[in-house]
């Protein structure tokens, strides 16, 4: 009966992993981090299935302890791969590429290689017909390797979150840092309750992966895929929450920044060039979010929105002038053979006629800080 309950738990975990895996298989967005997370799901599913097979109670004449021994060793090998791939997933989420991971690939991979070699030696040490499975040392090494890789990924996330504290996305890095503390606690509890043979690690990791999947889906709903910034849906939600808690001492300003002449540029150079300009300008604005009281979003097609909580209008004016003066950089202006310029409009919440989010957004059309720069006045570009 005990084994039947364990098998039922394994089947439930497998069903959850299959559902999440199905969502990734039909997804049109296959970024490197998504492909890595998909591999984690596949390995976790394979490990769970092997665990179920190992617990199945066949009639005595079909029972083979050697087969169970091999299944356990293979399960341990798969278990070591999962946190290794988690490290790769974190590198993709934080750095946007696997460059740093590949740069230190040799020292990062050494624990995994040693663990796999140990699994191979355990297979060679298999004594046919030996019924006692003494695998405590194997699981100690496997758990140590898993904790090592999880701790490494958490340190990378925490370091990046601390470094980019005032930038967009730092909460996500904090999330990835602390979410994997749960599997580590589960591993330690599993070791403490080893004699009871209670399955803790597999269900806990399955639920954590499900939570990460749901969190990423929520992020996709509120994130602009091209620029990686908050989208218009997230902006509206943020403004509703912010304006609801606004006190009389706080002054909330909204800037809408629109890139000039983007329709002409698209007609002349195509969609790819306009997307390149949007990404570069998004990075330019992101680098200037130097305060916790600022919120940046990709608002409409060629526009961005910045919400600022400032004490006086002079602070807002200084920020706008800083944007204009620092925009003439080779990194931004070198994308196209003509200058990349933008207009700035603004609004203040709570002034006469601006008492809700819709009026707050619409009022920016009536207040111009920096007008649109004509393309023809700045270059010889003829669309």
Pick 96 or 19 by higher pLDDT.
19
DSSP one-letter code for 223: B
> Which of 157-163's residues contact partners 24+ apart within 8 Å by CB, and which partners?
157/90, 157/94, 160/94
Residue-level pLDDT at 381: 39
Residue 298 near residue 231, CB atoms below 8 Å: yes
The CATH class for the domain spanning 232-378 reads alpha beta
**Largest Cα span, the chain:** 89
DSSP one-letter code for 227: T
Three-state DSSP class for residue 73: helix
In the predicted model, what is the mean pLDDT of residues 46-73? 72
The closest alpha carbon to 287, from 243, 234, 228, 246, belongs to: 228
Residue 310 near residue 256, CB atoms below 8 Å: no
Could you please state the CATH topology (level 3) that the domain comprising 2-222 is classified under: Rhopdopsin 7-helix transmembrane proteins (1.20.1070)
User: On the CB side of 254, how many CA atoms lie within 13 Å of its CA?
Assistant: 30
Residue-level pLDDT at 84: 92
| CA 42 – CA 202 distance, rounded (Å) | 14
Give pLDDT tens digits for 212-226.
888 877 777 777 878
Three-state DSSP class for residue 337: coil
Range name among 124-133, 154-163, 339-348, 350-359 with the lowest pLDDT average: 124-133
Residue-level pLDDT at 114: 93
The domains spanning 2-222 and 232-378 adopt the same CATH topology: no
The closest alpha carbon to 87, from 175, 17, 176, 167, belongs to: 176
Six-digit token pair at 259?
């890139």
Q: Is the pLDDT of residue 257 over 80?
A: yes
Residue 304 near residue 285, CB atoms below 8 Å: yes
| CA 193 – CA 171 distance, rounded (Å) | 34
Q: What are the boundaries of each domain within the chain? A: 2-222, 232-378
Residues 6+ apart with CB under 8 A from 283: none
In the predicted model, what is the mean pLDDT of residues 145-169? 76
Q: Tell me the pTM.
A: 0.67
User: On the CB side of 102, how many CA atoms lie within 13 Å of its CA?
Assistant: 6
Residue 126 near residue 66, CB atoms below 8 Å: yes
Q: Is the pLDDT of residue 342 over 50?
A: yes
Q: For residue 27, how many other CB atoms are within 10 A of its CB?
A: 13
| CA 214 – CA 207 distance, rounded (Å) | 10
| CA 313 – CA 252 distance, rounded (Å) | 10
| CA 46 – CA 148 distance, rounded (Å) | 22
CA angle, 226 as apex, 288 and 325 as ends, to 5°?
Answer: 25
Residue 29 near residue 15, CB atoms below 8 Å: no
Residue-level pLDDT at 256: 92
């Amino acid at each position: 009966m005990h084994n039947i309950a364990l098998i039922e738990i394994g089947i439930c975990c497998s069903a959850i992993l299959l559902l999440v895996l199905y969502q990734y298989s039909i997804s049109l967005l296959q970024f490197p981090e998504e492909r890595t997370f998909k591999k984690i799901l596949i390995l976790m599913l394979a490990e769970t299935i092997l665990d179920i097979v190992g617990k199945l109670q066949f009639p005595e004449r079909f029972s083979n302890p050697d087969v169970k021994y091999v299944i356990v060793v293979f399960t341990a090998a798969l278990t070591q791969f999962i946190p290794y791939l988690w490290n790769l997933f974190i590198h993709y989420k934080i750095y946007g590429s696997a460059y740093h991971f590949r740069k230190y690939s040799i020292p990062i991979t050494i624990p995994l290689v040693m663990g796999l070699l140990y699994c191979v030696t355990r297979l060679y040490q298999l004594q046919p017909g030996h019924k006692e499975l003494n695998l405590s040392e194997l699981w100690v090494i496997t758990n140590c390797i898993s904790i090592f890789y999880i701790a490494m990924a958490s340190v990378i996330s925490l370091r990046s979150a601390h470094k980019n504290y005032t930038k967009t996305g730092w909460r996500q890095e904090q999330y990835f840092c602390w979410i994997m503390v749960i599997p580590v606690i589960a591993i330690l509890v599993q070791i403490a309750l080893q004699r009871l043979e209670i399955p803790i690690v597999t269900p806990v990791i399955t639920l954590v992966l499900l939570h990460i999947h749901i969190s990423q889906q929520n992020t996709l709903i509120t994130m602009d895929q091209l620029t990686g910034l908050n989208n218009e849906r997230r902006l509206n939600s943020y403004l509703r929450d912010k304006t609801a808690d606004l006190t009389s001492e706080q002054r909330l300003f909204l800037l809408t920044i629109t890139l000039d002449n983007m329709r002409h540029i698209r007609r002349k150079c195509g969609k790819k060039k306009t997307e390149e300009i949007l990404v570069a300008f998004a990075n330019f604005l992101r680098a200037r979010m130097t305060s916790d009281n600022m919120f940046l979003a990709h608002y409409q097609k060629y526009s961005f929105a910045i919400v600022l909580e400032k004490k006086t209008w002079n602070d807002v004016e200084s920020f706008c002038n800083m944007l204009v003066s620092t925009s003439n950089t080779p990194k931004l202006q070198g994308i196209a053979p003509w200058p990349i310029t933008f207009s700035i409009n603004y609004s203040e919440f709570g002034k006469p006629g601006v008492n809700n989010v819709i009026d707050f957004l619409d009022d920016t059309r009536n207040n111009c800080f920096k007008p649109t720069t004509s393309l023809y006045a700045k270059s010889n570009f003829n669309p």
